[in-house]
Structure 1
Amino acid sequence: MKSPSNKTNWYQRWFSGNNVLNGLIMALLVLLIIFMIYQIRFIIEPMRALFTAVGAPIIIAGVLYYLLIPVVNWLNTHTKMPKKFSVGLVLVAVLAILALIVTIAVTIISDQVSGLVDNWPNYWQNSQRVINDTFATSEFQTVREWLSNTNSDINQTVADWSRKYLQSGVSGIGQIASTLTTVGVTLVASPFILFYMLLDGNKLSSFIADKLPSKAQTSLQSVLQEVSKQVAQYIRGQLGVALAVIIMFSIGYTIIGLPYGILLAFMAGLFNMIPYVGSILAQVPIFIVALVAGGPKLVLFALIVLVIEQPIEGHVIAPKILGSALKIHPVTVIVVLLTGGHIFGVLGIILSVPTYAVVKVLVTHIYEWWRTNSDLFAEDAHATTSEMDNSVKKLEGNTKES
């Protein structure tokens, strides 16, 4: 009968110390995970439906939690009021402020949307006139024919689209009712979830850690704290940058006289929350409105506003507010955005980057644990130790010579 020490030595000899075998095992595990995900596609769809149904109030409450928890902590530190009272006070104040902001913003934006819809036929005719004047020469005969055909196609498409949705009015009413119900449930549920998150959110890491062995509790709490810190930095930073973008574009578009500038600035701020590609996507409707409302001259002014805003955002505001806390390569961000958008739609685009940051923290800690408890990197550790010993000996020799 073999002793346990021999079994341990056999495992270390064949697995822990074998780089090639460990690499093959890791590759097989990755392929196995991909294969399993492909096989359980039927589970992903219900999960996506569940996430869509319950995700909105939880996400809203989570975002507000990371924005408000510093205020609650400050009140608990500098006042003697009970935590329930401080949480309730903060919640009531924030809801009142949000209601005021939403009322003002909805009034302004709805007026601008109504004006844009009412004036769109005139804008479209002006844009056609500008384009026709630009391409009036015989050299642009092909372009004029293409524009004429495009105009006819657009009018036909709009007519078909209107007819289709008028014919399906009953189902459309049902969809509107369903959407309004979802919005109502979200608005009612979010404050309740937020209240209990502010009240007991700090107990979550301890609650999870208590379910594990005592020797793993400290490490798990450290991981959860780092995850919470990453998410908090991302949410506060993105919202801060988005607010700054809205303010800068609102000022710029007001100066150049761009119609519906506040609406477009608000849209640019929302798009800006999508890393790297959001600011580019936001400029498409802005330049279209500038072209149809004021022609090439207004487009040039809008471009000047963008040229002034981008360096301020990229070199001053974003590094100051957001910084490089997530430390994710831009190519990785784009891949993550495409993947999240393909699986979960718009919500996936918004949540994909912070989700990846959380997964990155977890994988990094798991890798460090494996590196510490495995013999796979024993040679590297031995080499590092030898280099340190040589450096110490060299330093001692230099000290003796001096």
Structure 2
Amino acid sequence: MSRLERVVGRLRRAFGPGRESVRRGRPDPVGAGGPEEGGVASPASPGPVAPPSAVVAGAQPPAAVHASTSSRDDADVPHGLRIAAAWSWRLIVIGAVAWALLRIVGTIRVVIIPLAVALLLSALLAPAVGWLLRARFPRSLATGVVLVGGLAAVVGTLTLVVSEFIKGVPELSKNASQGVRQIQDWLKTGPLHLSDNQLNRYIDEAQNWINENTNNLTSGAIATAATLAEVLTGMVLVLFATFFFLRDGNSIWRFLVRLLPVAARWKVDDAGRASWETLVAYVRATVLVAFIDAVGIGIFLVIFDIPFAFPLAALVFLGAFIPIVGAALSGGVAVLVALVDSGPVTALIILGVVIGVQQVEGHVLQPLIMGRAVAIHPLAVIIGIAGGVVLAGITGALVSVPLIAVLNTAVRRLAARTVPDTPPDAVVVAAKAP
């Protein structure tokens, strides 16, 4: 070996490790290097690449990605705004579904309202059917007897009310004329001191209003006559639905429950039966409170010899089925009749009687009788009645409060974490251990 070759070999052995370390520090131009490699700039890599563990001074830390976010954009939105947006679109969906349900109910109200009335009648008559069944009556016979007896009671009461009303109309008309003259005299000599010209002007304005709205009143009467067929159809549907609810209510409910998933059947069955018990208790309590109101006001109407005492008491009884406001409005009719027939003093006494009965109902009867059946706040009752009147008139006011009571019980049962008791007729099949 020549001297030159020996010098080249020594240089390679001296500078080889350093060159190899420099080569390793350079980034791979085609990206074949590992993620831990870094180095100086090159044409393929314009600058050094910091390893993942490196901390760059002055740089902002990356935003923490919450478990509920699906992208970096969601992480940049404040948490409160994300929660508000999530609630907003869910509420919009619920509102849209509720609006669609209301439209459907409004479209088929001719069927929905009779079914709701049939449920209330079934809850009222179900205890009587139970008594006859315990007396060994066949189910169909017991249901027929109770339904026919209820219809006879209603028809008899209406017949008596109408006959009393027809009998007392002539006398009431004469007393009404006298009452109108007394009111005119009071307007002249009372604190208002109205003149004859002012009275005549007000009377002329009232007559003009009646003449201008005659077409509207006539069209309303025609519309009422046009809906007579719907009313008759609804009455027939109420009778048939009540009969089958009383006779086959259990079978109908079991059929509906079987349509649900197996895991939800027991829970829904427990909530439905509890809701039915609430409805029965509500109807019983309402009937008892209405009867006490009618008897209390009717006794004073008889004592002061007010005409239509029995029809007015029946009106108070029917009005009491609309809580809080029903008995007050029907009692107001009794006060007006007393004013026309017997003068302002007797009318004030009857007004005091109506107010006293309302106080007894609100502070004694409602907490003692109704409070045991359903626990609903008075504000919820008022809102429910107002919404029912807007949606379905008098029928809506009648059905709204029991509907709220049933939904209250159903939601409480469904939200409870307790497991319903096993029905006595249930068949439990135990699987063999593997």
Cα displacement string for residues 43-95 of structure 1 (whole angstroms, at most 9, x for unaligned residues): 744531421x224432332222112211222222232x321222223223333
Q: 2:269 aligns with which of 210, 221, 224?
A: 221
CA positional deviation for 1:339:
2.0
CA distance in 2, matches of 1:55, 1:113: 37
Cα displacement string for residues 81-112 of structure 1 (whole angstroms, at most 9, x for unaligned residues): 32122222322333333332232222223444
Task: Indicate if the aligned counterparts of 1:338 and 1:349 stay in contact, CA closer than 8 A.
Answer: yes
Match of 1:75 in 2: 132
Task: Indicate if the aligned counterparts of 1:238 and 1:273 stay in contact, CA closer than 8 A.
Answer: yes
Cα displacement string for residues 205-260 of structure 1 (whole angstroms, at most 9, x for unaligned residues): 32222223333222111100111112212222222222221222111111123333
Match of 1:388 in 2: none
Task: Indicate if the aligned counterparts of 1:272 and 1:279 stay in contact, CA closer than 8 A.
Answer: yes
- Please show how residues 357-396 of structure 1 align to structure 2 within 5 Å: 357-368=405-416
Quick one: percent identity of the two aligned structures?
Answer: 26
CA positional deviation for 1:320:
4.4
Match of 1:99 in 2: 155
SS of alignment partner, residue 232 of structure 1 = helix
CA positional deviation for 1:365:
3.8
Counterpart amino acid of residue 232 in structure 1: V
Q: 1:155 aligns with which of 186, 207, 222?
A: 207
Q: What is the aligned residue count? A: 344
SS of alignment partner, residue 177 of structure 2 = helix
CA distance in 2, matches of 1:93, 1:260: 26
> What are the ranges of 5 or more consecutive residues in structure 2 without an aligned counterpart?
1-66, 70-78, 420-434
- Please show how residues 262-341 of structure 1 align to structure 2 within 5 Å: 262-341=310-389
Task: Indicate if the aligned counterparts of 2:274 and 2:410 stay in contact, CA closer than 8 A.
Answer: no
SS of alignment partner, residue 200 of structure 1 = helix
Match of 1:383 in 2: none
Match of 1:190 in 2: 238
Q: Residues 144 and 327 (structure 1 numbering): CA distance in 2 closer, same or farther, change over 3 Å? A: farther
CA positional deviation for 1:262:
3.1
CA positional deviation for 1:188:
3.0
Q: 1:88 aligns with which of 131, 140, 144?
A: 144
Q: Residues 54 and 366 (structure 1 numbering): CA distance in 2 closer, same or farther, change over 3 Å? A: same
Task: Indicate if the aligned counterparts of 1:126 and 1:293 stay in contact, CA closer than 8 A.
Answer: no
CA distance in 2, matches of 1:344, 1:176: 15
CA positional deviation for 1:361:
2.9
Q: Residues 295 and 188 (structure 1 numbering): CA distance in 2 closer, same or farther, change over 3 Å? A: same
SS of alignment partner, residue 345 of structure 1 = helix
Q: Residues 25 and 367 (structure 1 numbering): CA distance in 2 closer, same or farther, change over 3 Å? A: farther
Task: Indicate if the aligned counterparts of 1:127 and 1:291 stay in contact, CA closer than 8 A.
Answer: no
Match of 1:377 in 2: none
Q: 1:32 aligns with which of 80, 88, 93?
A: 93
Q: Residues 68 and 283 (structure 1 numbering): CA distance in 2 closer, same or farther, change over 3 Å? A: closer
- Please show how residues 247-258 of structure 1 align to structure 2 within 5 Å: 247-258=295-306
Match of 1:47 in 2: 105
Cα displacement string for residues 133-178 of structure 1 (whole angstroms, at most 9, x for unaligned residues): 323xxxx4469876554333233334545x5479x5xx67754543
CA distance in 2, matches of 1:165, 1:281: 26
Task: Indicate if the aligned counterparts of 1:65 and 1:198 stay in contact, CA closer than 8 A.
Answer: yes
CA distance in 1, matches of 2:371, 2:129: 25
Counterpart amino acid of residue 134 in structure 2: T
Cα displacement string for residues 257-289 of structure 1 (whole angstroms, at most 9, x for unaligned residues): 333333333333333322223333334433333
Q: Residues 113 and 368 (structure 1 numbering): CA distance in 2 closer, same or farther, change over 3 Å? A: farther
Counterpart amino acid of residue 88 in structure 1: G
Match of 1:376 in 2: none
RMSD (Å), alpha carbons: 3.5
Counterpart amino acid of residue 339 in structure 2: L
Higher RCO structure, 1 or 2 (CA under 8 Å, sep 6+): 1
Task: Indicate if the aligned counterparts of 2:388 and 2:400 stay in contact, CA closer than 8 A.
Answer: yes
Match of 2:185 in 1: 129
Larger Rg over CA atoms: 2
SS of alignment partner, residue 265 of structure 1 = helix
> What are the ranges of 5 or more consecutive residues in structure 1 without an aligned counterpart?
1-12, 373-402
CA distance in 2, matches of 1:112, 1:26: 62
Q: 1:109 aligns with which of 161, 165, 189?
A: 165
CA distance in 2, matches of 1:356, 1:256: 39
SS of alignment partner, residue 217 of structure 1 = helix
CA positional deviation for 1:183:
3.4
Please, which moves more after superposition, 314-323 or 70-79?
314-323
Q: Residues 110 and 187 (structure 1 numbering): CA distance in 2 closer, same or farther, change over 3 Å? A: farther
Greater fraction of residues in helix: 1
SS of alignment partner, residue 322 of structure 1 = helix
CA distance in 2, matches of 1:192, 1:84: 13
TM-score normalised per structure 1: 0.72
